[in-house]
C-alpha cells in the first residue's frame, strides 16, 4: 500500500505524525545501486546496398480486388506471402531495410514486404537520440531509403506495403502523410498502402466515420477541471477523421493502389466489416482488410474468417515466440510448437495474404536469430518453409 493510502486514516491532529511515519516507511534501506540492464539486442544491422535503378519491365502487375481475392491486370489470382520488416519506425536510419528486403525476396522467396515506417520521420522530424543522429534534411534521406526498398522489391517482381506504424486511430496529420505518399507512389504497381498499423480502443463508428477519441490525462491530477466541455475535450483526446476519409483523400490524388485497413482490437477484429462498417472505394482498385493474429487471440471465425469469405484479408502481422509476453498472463498464450503449424495451415487453407512479424533479430516474435538471417526454429523456419511451398495441414480446431 502506498504512503498516501495510509494517510487517509489520519486525523488532522495526527497529520504530521502520519506524514513522518509514511516518509520513514517509504525510505528504502541503504543498498548498493542496481547494475544497469545489459542490452543484449543484436544491433549489428546489415548495411544497405546502393539504390538500384528502377526496371519497370521487371515490375509486378498492378493489383485489384475481385470478390475476396486479389487479381492482376489479366484477372489471374495473386497470393501475397512474405515478411514484415521493422526498423524505419524506430529510428530514421532504419535497421538495414533494403538489405532485409533483398534477403526476404531472394532467399526466403517472399513476394511481398510490409515495411513499417513513421510519418514523423517521413517529414524529417526525427530528433537525435543515443542511437540516431536525428534528421536535418527534412526527411529526404528517409524517403530515399523507402524508395530504395520499393525499387528493390519491384525490380524482383514483388510487392511492398507501406505501413504507417501508428496506433489507436487515424489523426489529421496522418492524412497529410498519406497524400504525400500517394502522390509519390501513385499507381506504382508494386506499392500498397496500409493506413494505420493497429487501431484499438474506439468504436466502429469512429473507426470508419471519425469522431472524438478520448485519452486519459497524463497527470494524476485533472488540471483541466476548470475548463468547459469543449476545451476539456481538446486536452483529453483528439478528433479522428476516420478510415473512410483516409481512403477518400488518397483517391483524390488519383492513386488507385490497393488500400489496407486494419480492424479493431489492435487490428485483429474484423467483425464490424461484415456488419455494416465496410469502406467504400468506387474510384480505386479496392480495399483489403488487415488482421494481426498472435497466439493469445481467440474467436478466429467471428474476428476474421467471416470477413475472409467476403473480402481479401491481409494478415499483416502474425507469429509466435518461445518466450511468453509478460504484459499478459502466460497461460492465455499458446505455445509456438502447436500454434505456428496450425496458423500456417489456416493461412494456406483460406489463402490469406500474410507477412510474418518480424523479419528482425529482436522485435519479437522474431523470425531470425541474428543478422545473418538465421531462421529461428520455432517461427522463422516454419515460415520460411511455407514461403518455399511447404504445405501445412489445416488446423484440427479453431481458436
Quote the pLDDT of residue 267. Answer: 97
Q: How many residues in total does the chain contain?
A: 399
Quote the pLDDT of residue 217. Answer: 62
C-beta separation of 135 from 126 below 8 A: yes
Unique residue bearing C-alpha cell 498492378: 62
Quote the pLDDT of residue 219. Answer: 53
Q: Which domain does 278 fall in, by range? A: 41-387
C-alpha cell at 344: 500456417
Question: Which of 339, 371, 367 has the alpha carbon at shortest distance from 82?
Answer: 367
Is residue 106 domain-resident?
yes
C-beta separation of 287 from 247 below 8 A: yes
Is residue 337 domain-resident?
yes
Which residues are 204's β-sheet partners? none
**Domain harbouring 281, CATH code:** 3.20.20.80
Is residue 256 domain-resident?
yes
On the question of a cis peptide bond just before residue 70, with omega within 30 degrees of 0, the verdict is no
pTM of the model: 0.86
Quote the pLDDT of residue 232. Answer: 52
C-beta separation of 97 from 85 below 8 A: yes
The 10s digit of each residue's pLDDT in 201-239 is 999 999 999 999 998 765 544 444 444 555 555 568 999
How many domains would you assign to the chain? 1
Is residue 32 domain-resident?
no
Is residue 17 domain-resident?
no
Is residue 29 domain-resident?
no
Is residue 345 domain-resident?
yes
Quote the pLDDT of residue 222. Answer: 44
Regions of the chain where pLDDT drops below 70: 1-38, 217-235
Amino acid at each position: 500500500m502506498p504512503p498516501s493510502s495510509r494517510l487517509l486514516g489520519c486525523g488532522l491532529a495526527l497529520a504530521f505524525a502520519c506524514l513522518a511515519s509514511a516518509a520513514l516507511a517509504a525510505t528504502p534501506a541503504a543498498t548498493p545501486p542496481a547494475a544497469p540492464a545489459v542490452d543484449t539486442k543484436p544491433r549489428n544491422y546489415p548495411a544497405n546496398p546502393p539504390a538500384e535503378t528502377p526496371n519497370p519491365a521487371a515490375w509486378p502487375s498492378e493489383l485489384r480486388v475481385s470478390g475476396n481475392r486479389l487479381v492482376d491486370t489479366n484477372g489471374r489470382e495473386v497470393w501475397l506471402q512474405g515478411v514484415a520488416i521493422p526498423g524505419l519506425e524506430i529510428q530514421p536510419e532504419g535497421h538495414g531495410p533494403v538489405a532485409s528486403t533483398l534477403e526476404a525476396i531472394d532467399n526466403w522467396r517472399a513476394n511481398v514486404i510490409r515495411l513499417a515506417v513513421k510519418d514523423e520521420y517521413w517529414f524529417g522530424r526525427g530528433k537525435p537520440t543515443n542511437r540516431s543522429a536525428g534528421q536535418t534534411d527534412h526527411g529526404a534521406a528517409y524517403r530515399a531509403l523507402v524508395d530504395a526498398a520499393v525499387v528493390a522489391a519491384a525490380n524482383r517482381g514483388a510487392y511492398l506495403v507501406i505501413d504507417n506504424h501508428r496506433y489507436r486511430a487515424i489523426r489529421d496529420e496522418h492524412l497529410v502523410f498519406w497524400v504525400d505518399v500517394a502522390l509519390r507512389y501513385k499507381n506504382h504497381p508494386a506499392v500498397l498502402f496500409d493506413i494505420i498499423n493497429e487501431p484499438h480502443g474506439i468504436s466502429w463508428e469512429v473507426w470508419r466515420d471519425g469522431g472524438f477519441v478520448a485519452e486519459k490525462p497524463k497527470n494524476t491530477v485533472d488540471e483541466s477541471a476548470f475548463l468547459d466541455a469543449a476545451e476539456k475535450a481538446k486536452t483529453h483526446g483528439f478528433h479522428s477523421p476516420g478510415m473512410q476519409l483516409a481512403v477518400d483523400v488518397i483517391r483524390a490524388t488519383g492513386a488507385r493502389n490497393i488500400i489496407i485497413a486494419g480492424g479493431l482490437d489492435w487490428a485483429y477484429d474484423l467483425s464490424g466489416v461484415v456488419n455494416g462498417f465496410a469502406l467504400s472505394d468506387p474510384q480505386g482498385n479496392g480495399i483489403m482488410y488487415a488482421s494481426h493474429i498472435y497466439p493469445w487471440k481467440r474467436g478466429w471465425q467471428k474476428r476474421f474468417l467471416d470477413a475472409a469469405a467476403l473480402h481479401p484479408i491481409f494478415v499483416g502481422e502474425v507469429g509466435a515466440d518461445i518466450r511468453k509476453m509478460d504484459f499478459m498472463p502466460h497461460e492465455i498464450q499458446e505455445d509456438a510448437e502447436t500454434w505456428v503449424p496450425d496458423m500456417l495451415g489456416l493461412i494456406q487453407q483460406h489463402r490469406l495474404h500474410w507477412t510474418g512479424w518480424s523479419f528482425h533479430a529482436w522485435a519479437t516474435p522474431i523470425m531470425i536469430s541474428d543478422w545473418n538471417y538465421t531462421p529461428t526454429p520455432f517461427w522463422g523456419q516454419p515460415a520460411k518453409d511455407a514461403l518455399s511451398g511447404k504445405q501445412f495441414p489445416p488446423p484440427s480446431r479453431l481458436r
